[in-house]
Structure 1
Amino acid sequence: MDGTEQTIIEQEFESFAQAAWLRLQQVVAWFDANLLTVASAYQLVAIAVTLALAWLLHSRFKRLLQELGQGRKLAPAVQRLLRTVASISMPVVWVIFLALARTGFESAGMPIPFLRLVSSLLLAFIVINIISIFIASTYWSRVFSWVAWGAAALNAVGLLDVVIEWLQATALTVGAVEISAWSIVKALILAALLLWGANAVTGTVERRLEHTGKMSSALRLLVVRLLRLVLLTLAVIVAIAAVGIDLTAFAIFSGALGVGVGLALRRTFENLIASYSLLADESIKPGDVIEIETVSGPTYGQVRKMTTRYVAVMTRDGTETLIPNELLMSSPLTNWSHTAKPIRRRVPVGVAYSADIPLAQRLCVEAAGEVLRVLAHPEPRCLMRGFGDSAIDLELRFWINDPENGVANVTSDVLLLIWEKFQAHGIEVPFPQRDVTLRGPVRLDTPP
C-alpha cells in the first residue's frame, strides 16, 4: 500500500468518525430533550405497567391460543403460526397493552417517542419469529433472527443509515474492481435467501416426486440432486455478481485453480461422479439389500441413505456402515433386490446312507413350509446332489421376499425344524467318519 492509498483510507476513516460523533451528539441531545422530562417519565411508567400486565396475563393468552389450535381442524401452516405466537405470547400481549397506552397518550396530546420505540422493537421481534418458522434449519433460523433483529434495532434508534454509510466507505480495491463491506453484506444476504429458496424448491419437488409412482426412487433422487446442484450454482453466481465482480475475471485463474483443486479433491470428485452414476443406472437405490466385500470383511445390509460421498448401509448388527461411492463402482457387488425382491436360498443337508431318502426330502420341504417367511410359491424343493464321503448330500431350496430382514436367521429356523423332524422319524444326520487300515502286525499292549 503506497502513501496515497493510506492517505485516502485515513481521510475516509476521519470522515466516518466525524459523522459518528455528530450522530452521537444528536442522540445525546435527543435524550436531554426527551428523557429528562415529565412526559418521558409518564412513558416509562406506562412501559413498566404494561410490562407487568403482560407478565400476569400472557399465560392465559398462551393457553387460549393452544386451545384454539387443538379444538379445530386447521391447516398445518396455521397451526405452526398459532404455536409460534403462543411461544412468544409475552411480547404479543405487551404490544397489545402498549398500543392501548399509545392511544391514551395520543388522545391526551402527550408525546410518545419511547412508547413508539419499544413498540417497534417488539413488533420487529414478533414478525421475525413468525418468519423464522418457515426456515427448516434451526441454525439458519437463529442466524436470520439475530441479523434481522439487529437491523431492526439499529433502524429503530436511527443508526442504520450510519452503519450502512460506514460499510459503504469501507472498500477494498483489487485492480479495476472496488469491493465495499456493504456490497459483501448484500451479497451474503442475497446468497442466503437464494440458498434458502433453492432448498425450498428442491424440497417441494422431492415431495411431489415421492407421490409419483411412475418414477423409481433412484431416478427421483437423481433429479432432486441435479436440480439442487443447478440452483445452488446459480445462487453462488448471482451472489458473486451482486458484489460487482466480473465473472470473466475468474477465467484467468480457472485453469491452474482447476488442476490444484482436482488433485487435492480427487477422491471427493470420484465419489461425487460415482454417486450420480449409481443413481443414473439405478444399480443401487434406497431400500435395496446389498452385499459387498470391504476392508473389514463382507458387509450385508439395507441401503438407508445415498449421499454424494457415501452410501449408508444398515447391517443386521444394528450398525450403519458408510461405503464410499467409488468403492461401490469398482468392486463386485451383490444386490439382493435389484430387479425383484424374492430371492432363493440353498441349504445343504446331509443324511446317513441307511436313511429313507424320499422321506428325508419330504420332511425338509415340510420344515421349510412351516416357516412363515418362506414363500409358498415358488414352493420349496429338496434335491439330491450326490454321494458324499460320510452322507447323502441333499439341498433344500426355498424363496423369501424380505431379504432386508436377514437370510441367516430364516435358514436357522428351517434347519432347526429339519432337525426336529429327523429326530422324530429316526433319520440320522451322520458326522464325518474315517476308516483306518493297519498294515502289518501291531502290538496294542505297551511295555511296563
Structure 2
Amino acid sequence: MSDKIMLLWQQLVSFLQQPAMWYQMVAVVAALTLAWGLNRVLAKRLNDSGGKGLRHVALHSSQRIVLPFSLAALLALTAEAFASSQLPAQLLQFLVPIALALGVIRLLVYILRKAFLSSPIVKSAEPVIATTVWLLVVLHLAGWLQPLLQMMDALAFTLGDSRLSLLSVVKLLLVIILAFTLALWLAELLNQQLRKAKHISPSMQVGFSKVAKVALITLAFLVALNAVGINLSSLAVFGGALGVGLGFGLQRIASNFISGFILVLDRSVKPGDVISVGDNFGWVHELKARYVVVRNREGVDTLIPSENLITSEVINWSYEDRNVRVKILVQVSYDDDPEQAMALMLQSANSSKRVLSEPAPTVMLKSFADSGIELELRVWIADPEYGADTVRSDINVAIWRAFKQAGITIPYPQRDLHIKSGLPTLPS
C-alpha cells in the first residue's frame, strides 16, 4: 500500500515540475478570476430582479451554477486554444469536468433541499454535503479514489470480533450525519405540523415534538451502526459506561432532560405563561429539552434549567387565569374628605387602557397612618407579561391631577416633637 502512495506522490511531483504545467496554472488562475467577476455581475442582476416561488428557486439556482459553469466554459476555451497552438493542455482538460461536476452537484443539492428538505437543519448541512460529493468526484476523476479507500481500509485494528478501520469509521460518520440530518428534518417537519393542529394544546405540542425528536435520533443512531456492520450487542458495554457517566458527571444533564418532560406532561408551565423564578420575571417563550427560555420586558432571554422549575418555587401568574390585580396606595391629609378622594381615585382607574372593566376597580380606606389617611385602589389587568409599572404610572398621574384640581392634599411625612418643661438645670 505504501508503494502505491509513493508512486502517486512521485507522479504528482513530476507533474508539477513540468514547465508546461505552470503555464496552464496561470491560465487556470486567469479563468477563475474572470469567472468570479462574471459571477458577481450576474448575481447582482439576479438579486435585483427579485421574484417569488418558482421564479425565486430558478434565480437562486442560476446563481449557484454561474461560477462553476462559466469557469468550465473558460477552461474549455483555453484548452482548445492551447491545443491549437500545440501547447500541452492536460491540466485544463482535467479541470473542465471537475468544474462541471461542481456546478451540477450544487444545483442538484439546492433543488433537492427546496423541493423535499426545506428545513434550516438541512440548509446548514447543504455546503458540507455538496463539498463532500464534489471531493469524491474529484478523487474519482483523478484516479485516486480507489487507492485512497484501500489505504484507509488497511489502517485497521481488531476489537473483539469486530474489525475497525479508518474507512469504516469514515463511513460510520457519513452515515450518522446523513441519518441524523434526515431524523432532524423529520422531527422539524412533525413539529411544524403539530403547531398547525388547533386541537392540541401548546404544552402537548412541545411534548410530542420532544418525544418524536428523541425517538428519531435514537433510531437514526442505531440504523447508522447497523449500516456499517457494527454489532448492536456490543452496545451493552456502551450502556454500562453511559450509566457510570450519568452517575458521576452527567446526572445534572439527565435531570434537566427528564425535568423538561415532567414540565410538559404536568402542564405546570406552558409557552406563553408569565412566571417568576427567583429574581427572573417574564413569559415563557420556548420549552427546550434541557431548559426553559424566559423573556423579560427588556427583550432579554434567560435560560433557566428545567430542574430549577421542578425543585424550586415558581410563581405562575397565568396558571389558571391571566387576570392579575394591581394595588395603588395613596395617602391624603386628615383635613380632606376621604370619601371624595376615594371617588376621584375610582374615576382615575379608567385612565389606563389596560385596566379591565370586569372585575371592576375598587377603592378602600386601608388605615389611619402617621402622616395621613391611607387609601388603596385595586384594578385588574389581563396582560401581566407587560408588567404593572405602566398601569401604576398612568393611574398615579391621573390621581395627582384630580387631587390637585379638587384641592386634596397628599401629605408629607411628618413627626410631632413635644418638649417637656421642668427639666433640671445643670450646675454652671
Deviations for 1:113-148, whole angstroms, at most 9, x for unmatched residues? Answer: 656532321123223434565473576444434433
Secondary structure at the aligned position of 2:269 is classed as coil
Which residue of structure 1 lines up, in the alignment, with residue 422 of structure 2? 442
Q: Is 1:312 the counterpart of 2:277 in the alignment?
A: no
Unaligned runs of 5+ in 2: 114-118
Partners of 2:170 and 2:103 in 1: how far apart? 24
Give matches, 1:308-347, under 5 Å. 308-347=289-328
Q: TM-score, normalised by structure 1?
A: 0.78
Which residue of structure 1 lines up, in the alignment, with residue 283 of structure 2? 302
Deviation at 1:258, TM superposition (A): 0.5
Partners of 2:257 and 2:284 in 1: how far apart? 18
Secondary structure at the aligned position of 2:136 is classed as helix
Which residue of structure 2 lines up, in the alignment, with residue 429 of structure 1? 410
Give matches, 1:200-279, under 5 Å. 200-252=185-237, 254-255=239-240, 257-279=242-264
User: Does 91-100 or 184-193 show the bigger shift?
Assistant: 91-100
- Could you say what the CA RMSD is over the residues aligned between the two structures, in angstroms? 3.8
CA pair 447-158 structure 1, distance change in 2 beyond 3 A? farther
Partners of 2:291 and 2:425 in 1: how far apart? 69
Partners of 1:129 and 1:330 in 2: how far apart? 50
CA pair 299-52 structure 1, distance change in 2 beyond 3 A? closer
Secondary structure at the aligned position of 1:428 is classed as coil
Deviation at 1:104, TM superposition (A): 11
Secondary structure at the aligned position of 2:197 is classed as coil
CA pair 131-255 structure 1, distance change in 2 beyond 3 A? same
Which residue of structure 2 lines up, in the alignment, with residue 363 of structure 1? 344
Partners of 1:62 and 1:301 in 2: how far apart? 44
Secondary structure at the aligned position of 1:382 is classed as strand
State whether residues 81 and 130 of structure 1, in contact with CA within 8 Å, keep that contact through their aligned partners in structure 2.
no
Give matches, 1:396-435, under 5 Å. 396-433=377-414
Secondary structure at the aligned position of 2:365 is classed as strand
Which residue of structure 2 lines up, in the alignment, with residue 13 of structure 1? none
Q: Aligned letter for 1:442?
A: G
Partners of 1:233 and 1:280 in 2: how far apart? 21
Partners of 2:25 and 2:313 in 1: how far apart? 76
Partners of 1:290 and 1:404 in 2: how far apart? 9
Deviations for 1:409-433, whole angstroms, at most 9, x for unmatched residues? Answer: 3213312321222222122333455
Deviation at 1:230, TM superposition (A): 1.0
Secondary structure at the aligned position of 2:326 is classed as strand
Deviations for 1:78-118, whole angstroms, at most 9, x for unmatched residues? Answer: 52552353255222223345678899999xxxx99656532
- The alignment-based identity, stated in percent, is 33
Unaligned runs of 5+ in 1: 1-15
Give matches, 1:138-153, under 5 Å. 140-153=125-138
Partners of 1:198 and 1:277 in 2: how far apart? 24
Q: Is 1:155 the counterpart of 2:140 in the alignment?
A: yes
CA pair 116-432 structure 1, distance change in 2 beyond 3 A? same
User: Does 18-27 or 353-362 show the bigger shift?
Assistant: 18-27
State whether residues 186 and 242 of structure 1, in contact with CA within 8 Å, keep that contact through their aligned partners in structure 2.
no
Deviation at 1:250, TM superposition (A): 2.5
Secondary structure at the aligned position of 1:339 is classed as coil
Partners of 1:444 and 1:120 in 2: how far apart? 116
Deviations for 1:176-207, whole angstroms, at most 9, x for unmatched residues? Answer: 11112111111111110111111211222222
Partners of 1:279 and 1:217 in 2: how far apart? 9
CA pair 145-351 structure 1, distance change in 2 beyond 3 A? same
Deviation at 1:394, TM superposition (A): 2.4
Q: Aligned letter for 1:85?
A: S
Q: Aligned letter for 1:290?
A: I
Partners of 2:129 and 2:32 in 1: how far apart? 26
Partners of 2:383 and 2:161 in 1: how far apart? 65
CA pair 192-56 structure 1, distance change in 2 beyond 3 A? closer
Secondary structure at the aligned position of 1:178 is classed as strand
Deviation at 1:173, TM superposition (A): 0.2
Which residue of structure 1 lines up, in the alignment, with residue 161 of structure 2? 176
Secondary structure at the aligned position of 1:301 is classed as strand
CA pair 446-375 structure 1, distance change in 2 beyond 3 A? farther
State whether residues 64 and 106 of structure 2, in contact with CA within 8 Å, keep that contact through their aligned partners in structure 1.
no
Partners of 1:269 and 1:44 in 2: how far apart? 56
CA pair 412-26 structure 1, distance change in 2 beyond 3 A? closer
Deviations for 1:218-257, whole angstroms, at most 9, x for unmatched residues? Answer: 2222222211111111122222223322121232453464
CA pair 386-62 structure 1, distance change in 2 beyond 3 A? closer
State whether residues 268 and 319 of structure 2, in contact with CA within 8 Å, keep that contact through their aligned partners in structure 1.
yes
Which residue of structure 1 lines up, in the alignment, with residue 116 of structure 2? none
Secondary structure at the aligned position of 2:330 is classed as strand
Q: Aligned letter for 2:255?
A: E
Give matches, 1:181-196, under 5 Å. 181-196=166-181
Q: Aligned letter for 2:375?
A: L
Partners of 2:371 and 2:47 in 1: how far apart? 76
State whether residues 179 and 243 of structure 1, in contact with CA within 8 Å, keep that contact through their aligned partners in structure 2.
no
State whether residues 271 and 325 of structure 1, in contact with CA within 8 Å, keep that contact through their aligned partners in structure 2.
yes
CA pair 90-253 structure 1, distance change in 2 beyond 3 A? closer
Q: Is 1:136 the counterpart of 2:90 in the alignment?
A: no
CA pair 374-19 structure 1, distance change in 2 beyond 3 A? same
Q: TM-score, normalised by structure 2?
A: 0.82
Deviations for 1:20-44, whole angstroms, at most 9, x for unmatched residues? Answer: 3455678799x79xx999xx99999
Secondary structure at the aligned position of 1:360 is classed as helix
Which of residues 287, 295, 299 is equivalent to 2:272? 287
User: Does 300-309 or 156-165 show the bigger shift?
Assistant: 300-309
Deviations for 1:267-288, whole angstroms, at most 9, x for unmatched residues? Answer: 1111111111112222222332
Deviation at 1:63, TM superposition (A): 4.7
CA pair 383-56 structure 1, distance change in 2 beyond 3 A? closer
Deviations for 1:373-427, whole angstroms, at most 9, x for unmatched residues? Answer: 2223333221233444544332211122222222123213312321222222122
Secondary structure at the aligned position of 2:281 is classed as strand
CA pair 447-348 structure 1, distance change in 2 beyond 3 A? farther
Partners of 2:424 and 2:306 in 1: how far apart? 66
Which residue of structure 2 lines up, in the alignment, with residue 117 of structure 1? 94
Deviations for 1:309-352, whole angstroms, at most 9, x for unmatched residues? Answer: 32232334554333221111122211122334332212233333
